[in-house]
Amino acid sequence: MRLSVIVPSKNRPDEIINCLESIYAHSPQVDEVIVVDQSATAYELPAHPRLTHVYRPDLSGLTAARNTGIDASSGDAVLFMDDDCLFVNDVVAEMSAFLDAHPDAIGAQAKVTDAEYVPRPLSSRIFEHGFFDVYTLGPDDDLRRTMGFGCAFRRSLFDHERYDDDHLEGYCYGEDYDLSARARRWGRLMYAPAAVVEHRASRVNRFDRRRFYETRWRNLNYLFAKHRPRRSLQDRLAHLWWRTGETVQWLRFGLGLPRLPR
């Protein structure tokens, strides 16, 4: 199986170099690496025979960058990485072998290590249930969702589904949850723990608290309407309870009150 690695990036020149070096070091046989660069000034990336550098500062955000990477790739499967993540082992070989061994899997999630891992906050455990539980991945052989990085999907998925770049822009909170929900229509999502990715959260190019909560409020309300057009009583109660929790957080951090979605 040929596997393409797609790395969207914006204004993180040091992080993208570290990411690429880890890919080349641990997966020297990688067929294709595509960097979708949305930076204000194009990166100066060291030449590599399998590297494609796509410079697109005009893109609307992460979802558009990932779709652009898909269009530029040629592998039988694509592996998405964030620029502040590193390969710990031969992720390309491990992911390729896993997908070969599980033909019913449309996608797979690598094991992620994070030295600065923060446990699920108490507010999330109280207020996020059902559709709004964005933390729980699910059982290893039938994941509820993949993460936004260290995840691989068969190319056949993208004959049917794309990242939602019509509605999710910029930071694109929830884009991984959205694609996972649609990918499950075409096969299982599975956990591939033999492939290991390290997340080193960058401090560069991050939203401040207000923009984070505004984006989260807008996107999760939109995704709920998108994926739950016929809402059960349980769904409606989960939505109301989540909105209550979000409002508490907005007030707690002095952000005022969130606007109700139209």
Which of 7-21, 79-93, 197-211, 227-241 is predicted least confidently? 197-211
151-154 and 105-114 as β-strands: parallel, antiparallel, unpaired? antiparallel
Q: Which two tokens stand for residue 87?
A: 């390969």
**Domain 3-126+134-199 classification at class level:** alpha beta
Average pLDDT along the chain: 95
Report residue 262's pLDDT band, with 50, 70 and 90 as the boundaries. Answer: low
Tokens 């040629």 sit on residue: 74
How many other C-beta atoms lie within 10 A of the C-beta of residue 206?
10
Q: Are the C-beta atoms of 31 and 50 separated by less than 8 Å?
A: yes
pLDDT at 120 over 90: no
Q: What is the dihedral of CA 182, 132, 135, 124, to 10 degrees?
A: 170
Tokens of 34: 């595509």
pLDDT of 177 reads 94
What is the average per-residue pLDDT within 238-259? 96
Backbone φ and ψ of 51, nearest 5°: -95, 130
Phi, psi of 4 (to 5 degrees): -100, 135
For residue range 71-116, list pLDDT tens digits in order. Answer: 999 999 999 999 999 999 999 999 999 999 999 999 999 999 997 7
Cβ(77)–Cβ(155) under 8 Å? yes
β-pair partners for 51 = 33
| Amino acid making up residue 255 | L
